[in-house]
A = this chain, B = another copy of it.
């Protein structure tokens, strides 16, 4: 039996074209112990694949030239060497862009195409839905009454994020790339508003649809759109970096701005970046004084001071702090204790 398969032929320089891929016909694999042979019915096409086309490190290993293109698929089992998996059953698998795939049964998920169609298992009930749901609920942490901004709002993940956010009581603003997409986002997905980023003055329009600022930004695109939205963040805002599709093409690292490069690191290395002011966290550290006092008493923490003496030394102490003259904690003794 033969298997049509699309493989990675040439690393793209900027915008990928059809020349990046080639097709070949190979023999269908034979399942080993614990494996199943599947016939792909529907394959998923996802933007993260673009990131895998770079040679440099990303969150998944880069594609090798000649490698079959990976991807989720809904498939039916043609032959099984795994107990509990029967010929004819439907599964969601990493089937790739090919007609047949041999996969470990352990990594296959049985699905019921009678209750939901293939597209739903690859969409809201698949990785796409999990991305939207987990990213919004676990990182975005929406609270009733907050404003949620979603870029790539007409896309598979973005459209779900906004709908989930609405159910959780947020005001939801989408950003998308055409008037028609914005119409779909508003009328079909029920977002409160949607802005076409191709129209002029995104900053001004954002301000008018987010008069109370932005609390959560679920970012699928990166670049200039992200700069505009982040500038409107309220205190304690959450930026969920899910994708940077505007950066996947064309811009090589050297051309990206420092912020774009930083966002790429945040995404691909799954960083958490958080700004804080001590008063935000004070209530969360009831053990602080006892712990720190114990360390000081036990000599486990070295406390180094940069003391000065006299009221007139306050300003020089501050200026010295900014110019890097001081080491340790800057304090100024301005009066002697009286005996209590």
Minimum CB distance partner of A190 in chain B: B302
Interface status of A225 (Cβ within 8 A of chain B): no
A198 to chain B, nearest CB (A): 9
Contact partners of A50 in chain B: CB under 8 A:
322
Nearest CB of B to A274, in Å:
5
A306-340 contacts to B (CB < 8 Å) = 307, 311, 314-319, 321-324, 326-340
Q: Is the CB of B154 within 8 A of A288?
A: no
Cα–Cα, bound, A17→B320 (Å): 10
- Are B43 and A332 in contact (CB-based, < 8 A)? yes
A30 at the interface (CB under 8 A from B): no
Query: Oligomeric state, in number of copies?
Result: 2
Contacts of A130 in B (CB 8 A): 278, 281-282, 285, 288
Q: Does A80 contact B (CB under 8 A)?
A: no
When A4-B311, A285-B134 are in contact, do A270 and B275 touch as well, CB less than 8 Å? yes
Query: Is the Cβ of A235 less than 8 Å from the Cβ of B99?
Result: no
**Which size bracket describes the interface of A in this complex?**
35 or more
A136 to chain B, nearest CB (A): 11
A contact residues vs B (CB 8 Å cutoff): 4, 6, 15-18, 21, 39-47, 49-50, 59, 76, 88-90, 97, 99, 113, 115-116, 118-120, 122-125, 127-131, 133-135, 137-139, 154-156, 159-160, 163-164, 167, 177-178, 180-181, 184, 188-190, 227, 230-231, 233-242, 245, 248-249, 257-263, 265-278, 280-282, 284-285, 288-289, 291-293, 295-296, 300-305, 307, 311, 314-319, 321-324, 326-340
